[in-house]
């Protein structure tokens, strides 16, 4: 099967899977867990009403998003349909944009991963605006190589909607390209943030809500409390700041440890950027995936929709044959169905601490931690030059000593002997051979007779 046939096969798979997903989200087909869609009608639509009146929903502690999120929540109001249906349609269009960008990559593996992984998250993914942010990030990365101004602008807009896309700059090539991307990112982010801040009061109140968040039950750092509950820990799970969080003894300490781990992850990324010596066309893609993975597993919050960030970035990596992240993409793909299994299928059991549900959650988190570590290791190795000839380390004294003069190849008779040839090999026993037959010269008398000398005859 040629590339053209493969491309159309991937397109057909996307159309079928997204058709099914959209019909389930609209309740045309049966949805066993409609609760995942209540965020649109119960949270986003009320925020839309407040935003339409010219202010941010600062009275709601669940508003924890940068000013650019207001633009995303206002967009469905432009479509001639109910707010939930308009929101679902907007997310489906975002999915299509991301797929179209990936389909133009040099390899079809990226589009194939996106096609397969997104439906596994179920209708939940069309009920969160993370799909639109991921589409912006995918387009920004793919545009950065040829049009840095476009990649930078898209990165800035995406970061103004949700902060994490600023990590796309971690792997940008050094020098002029990085400066160009950074400047255009600042321009894009500033235009969105300053525009909404000037038009609406309370643009930066979301920072206090983020600061006061606890440890969400699905995060990696919630693991000690899941285990401690089996041994009589006195804490509890409660709805707090828009998510189910652990509250009780040592929760604030673990939250601070999570922030410290994120700071260490940032320091490691800066060290990698300083030490890296090899830059390929896939380096920026790979570094973006590594950075987001590290911050996802060290965050106090790990909502199920975060998986679409990782799927999108892994798909971008797979568009380049030079990527070092193929095994990491496989681990992320394995984590996607486990995420749907723990939310929404067993989420009630996760909250109550049932062993089966907690085991699924811990397995999902273990896969993400393994993916983050493996991604970092492979990124580090890919940035180091290949060593072709291993040599013993030299001491400082040897390094300062003058170099030996170049060896001169012996010629002539001197070439017959080299020091490396000593001692000479033992002589071999040679069997004697018969002496060659020699011709006998004629006698003197016979020669004289033949020449007719006197006395002959």
**pLDDT at residue number 1:** 72
Query: Cβ distance 417 to 306 under 8 Å?
Result: no
Q: How far apart are CA 452 and CA 443, in angstroms?
A: 15
**Interior angle at CA 268, CA 265 and CA 272, nearest 5:** 140
**pLDDT at residue number 20:** 98
CA of 154: how far to CAs of 51, 199, 221, in Å?
A: 23, 22, 32
pLDDT, tens only, 219-254: 999 999 999 999 999 999 999 888 999 999 999 999
The pTM (predicted TM-score) of the whole model is 0.84
**pLDDT at residue number 387:** 64
Query: Cβ distance 214 to 246 under 8 Å?
Result: yes
Q: Which residues of the chain have pLDDT under 50?
A: 389-401, 403-424, 427, 430, 433, 436, 438-457
CA of 174: how far to CAs of 170, 289, 322, in Å?
A: 10, 18, 19
Quote the tokens at residue 274: 């300083």
**pLDDT at residue number 211:** 65
**CB-count burial class (<10 Å; 0-12, 13-18, 19+) for 97:** middle
Strand (E) or helix (H) holding 237: strand 236-240
Reduce the DSSP state of residue 418 to 3 states and report it. coil
Query: Cβ distance 309 to 336 under 8 Å?
Result: no
pLDDT, tens only, 322-336: 999 999 999 999 999
């Amino acid at each position: 099967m040629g590339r053209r046939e493969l491309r159309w096969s991937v397109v057909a798979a996307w159309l079928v899977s997204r058709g099914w997903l959209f019909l389930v989200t609209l309740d045309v087909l049966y949805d066993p867990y409609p609760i995942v869609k209540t965020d649109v009608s119960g949270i986003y639509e009320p925020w839309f009403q407040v935003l339409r009146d010219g202010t941010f929903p600062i009275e709601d502690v669940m508003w924890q998003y940068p000013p650019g999120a207001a633009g995303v929540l206002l967009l469905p109001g432009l479509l001639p349909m109910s707010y939930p249906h308009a929101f679902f349609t907007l997310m489906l269009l975002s999915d299509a944009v991301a797929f179209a960008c990936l389909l133009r990559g040099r390899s079809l593996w990226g589009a194939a991963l996106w096609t397969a992984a997104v439906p596994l998250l179920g209708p939940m993914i069309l009920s969160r605006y993370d799909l639109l942010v991921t589409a912006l990030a995918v387009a920004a990365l793919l545009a950065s190589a040829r049009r840095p101004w476009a990649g930078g602008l898209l990165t800035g807009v995406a970061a103004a909607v949700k902060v994490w896309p600023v990590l796309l700059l971690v792997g940008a090539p050094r020098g002029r390209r990085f400066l160009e991307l950074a400047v255009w990112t600042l321009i894009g982010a500033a235009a969105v943030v300053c525009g909404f801040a000037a038009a609406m009061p309370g643009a930066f109140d979301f920072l206090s809500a983020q600061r006061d968040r606890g440890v969400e039950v699905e995060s990696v750092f919630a693991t000690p409390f899941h285990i401690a509950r089996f041994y009589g820990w006195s804490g509890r799970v409660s709805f707090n700041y828009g998510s189910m969080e652990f509250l009780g003894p040592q929760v604030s300490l673990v939250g601070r440890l999570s922030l410290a781990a994120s700071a260490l992850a940032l320091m490691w990324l800066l060290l990698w950027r300083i030490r890296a010596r090899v830059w390929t066309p896939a380096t920026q893609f790979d570094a973006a995936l590594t950075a987001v993975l590290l911050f996802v597993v060290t965050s106090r919050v790990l909502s199920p929709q975060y998986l679409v960030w990782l799927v999108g970035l892994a798909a971008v990596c797979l568009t380049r044959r030079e990527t070092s992240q193929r095994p990491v993409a496989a681990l992320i793909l394995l984590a996607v169905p486990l995420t749907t299994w723990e939310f929404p299928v067993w989420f009630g059991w996760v909250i109550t601490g049932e062993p089966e549900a907690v085991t699924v959650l811990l397995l999902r988190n273990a896969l993400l931690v393994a993916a983050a570590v493996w991604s970092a290791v492979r990124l580090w190795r890919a940035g180091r030059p290949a060593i072709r000839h291993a040599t013993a380390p030299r001491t400082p004294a040897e390094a300062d000593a003058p170099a030996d003069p170049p060896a001169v190849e012996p010629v002539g008779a001197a070439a017959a002997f080299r020091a490396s040839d000593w001692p000479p090999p033992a002589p071999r026993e040679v069997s004697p051979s018969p002496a060659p037959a020699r011709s006998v010269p004629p006698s003197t008398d016979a020669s004289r007779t033949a020449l007719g000398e006197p006395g002959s005859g």
